[in-house]
Amino acid sequence: MTTSPEIVFEMNRLIDAARVHRIDMRVIGGLAVRVHSPLQRQAFTREYPDIDFVVHKKSRRKLSPFFKDMGYIPDRQFNVLNGNRRQIFIDTRSGRRIDVFVGDFEMCHKLPLQKRLHLDPLTVPLAELLLSKTQIFELNRKDALDIISLLLNNELGRDDDRKINLHRIARLCLRYWGLYKTTSMNLARVEEMLLKEELGFTEDEKQTVLRRIRRIQRTLKAINKNLFWKLRNQIGTRMRWYAEVEEVDQ
């Protein structure tokens, strides 16, 4: 399977229209990973049935009229209960779902994004995009491959200029011990997957991803931990460190 040109067109149509309406909105999720992954391999290819966005809080009240104009209807029950942090809209013709996170991305862990949406014209920054995958407690194969795709296609660095910003990852993992724990677990899972499975990568490609995983691991290990972080680390996994995420029926 390949990425449908239709959903890529729709993603760009919505982002362009949001810009016209002065709505600060950026893509997150698998389709955003695809945007930042020009080097594709068979293991990465799939269909993307939905589009996920993050929008600035100040634009929250614009969402319903905006998506109505774009041809979508709201999931009224969900939006009434969750509209301050997340809203869902449906294309009744195709069944496509638009999932909009308001202000921050919150699933198993919280990723503050409100002040960083300006850094890329189309998607959330690469650091948060990677963390949006590593923060998943029950990591599935699709999301593990998204992590590999991001690490294969994007350099690590100390800023957000077309790089995965290690400083930002370290800062968030210092701020949120739970995010640090789940990210560390998932990097180890992806490393094991690369070492044990034949995924169709060249040896150079595999080593590139492994090298970048290990650099992130070293960065997290070297964080200058504060007292609160150390106390939470002593408690460890005896106390649940992630939020349980309920599936939303389509």
pLDDT tens digits along 76-102: 999 999 999 999 999 988 889 999 999
DSSP character for 91?
A: -
Q: What is the pLDDT of residues 9-22, one digit of tens each?
A: 999 999 999 999 99
The answer to whether the beta carbons of residues 164 and 155 sit under 8 Å apart is yes
Q: What is the pLDDT of residues 114-171, one digit of tens each?
A: 999 999 999 999 999 999 999 999 999 999 999 999 999 999 999 999 999 999 999 9
Amino acid identity, position 160: D
* E runs forming strands in 84-207: 86-90, 97-102, 104-106, 110-112, 156-157, 164-165
Q: Count CA atoms closer than 13 A to 215's CA, side-chain side.
A: 15
The answer to whether the beta carbons of residues 75 and 90 sit under 8 Å apart is yes
In this prediction, residue 45 carries a pLDDT of: 87
* E runs forming strands in 113-228: 156-157, 164-165
Q: How far apart are CA 110 and CA 68, in angstroms?
A: 28
pTM value is 0.95
The encoded tokens of residue 61 equal 């009240």
Cα three-residue angle 125-155-242, rounded to 5 degrees = 50
The answer to whether the beta carbons of residues 15 and 98 sit under 8 Å apart is no
- Reported confidence tier of residue 2, pLDDT bands at 50, 70, 90: very low
- Average pLDDT of the segment spanning 173-181: 98
In this prediction, residue 249 carries a pLDDT of: 60
> Smallest Cα–Cα separation from 100: which of 116, 87, 85, 118?
87
